[in-house]
Amino acid sequence: RGSLGLDLAAAIDIVLKDTKPVKIPTGVHGPLILNGQSYGALLLGRSSTTLQGLTVEPGVIDAGYTGEIMIMAHTRFPPISIPAGSRIAQLVPLPQLVKEARGPLRGTGRFGSTGGLVLLTLTMEQRPVVEAILCFAHQEKRLRALLDTGADITIIA
């Protein structure tokens, strides 16, 4: 009957030459108004975009945002060309779930303008030390080593 999301297209031709994320302009400006009410939205990639090798990073568009909505995307398989008008992302509208906060208007600031970077750090009481048993020609050698336990291959020299 209808789509949950509103499609967003690239406003310009762009070529991703490496794997670094890029901001892609859409030409669409906030706020998102539906039935006379301002909405926030989740910005998500379209499934067809992912199948073509482009990853759109999810984002949150605040209800009070008045600037141009940008799409942050990257590819693991450069180069990739995105022609202007290509629908690569979608906005999924969200109602305001909390009471309006008092303070400065959201305005046109983007990508981190509502605050600084938050970083979670944990103090590790014990390092990821693994006991390894190396076997060759009926001989065993045991060693304890600091290893990346998520690695597919470990080289011991």
User: Which are the catalytic amino acids?
Assistant: 148
Question: If 0-12 CB within 10 Å is exposed, 13-18 middle and 19+ buried, where does residue 90 land?
Answer: buried
Q: What pairing do the DSSP bridges indicate for beta strands 129-136 and 68-75?
A: unpaired
Say how far apart CA 8 and CA 143 lie, in whole Å: 55
Say how far apart CA 56 and CA 50 lie, in whole Å: 8
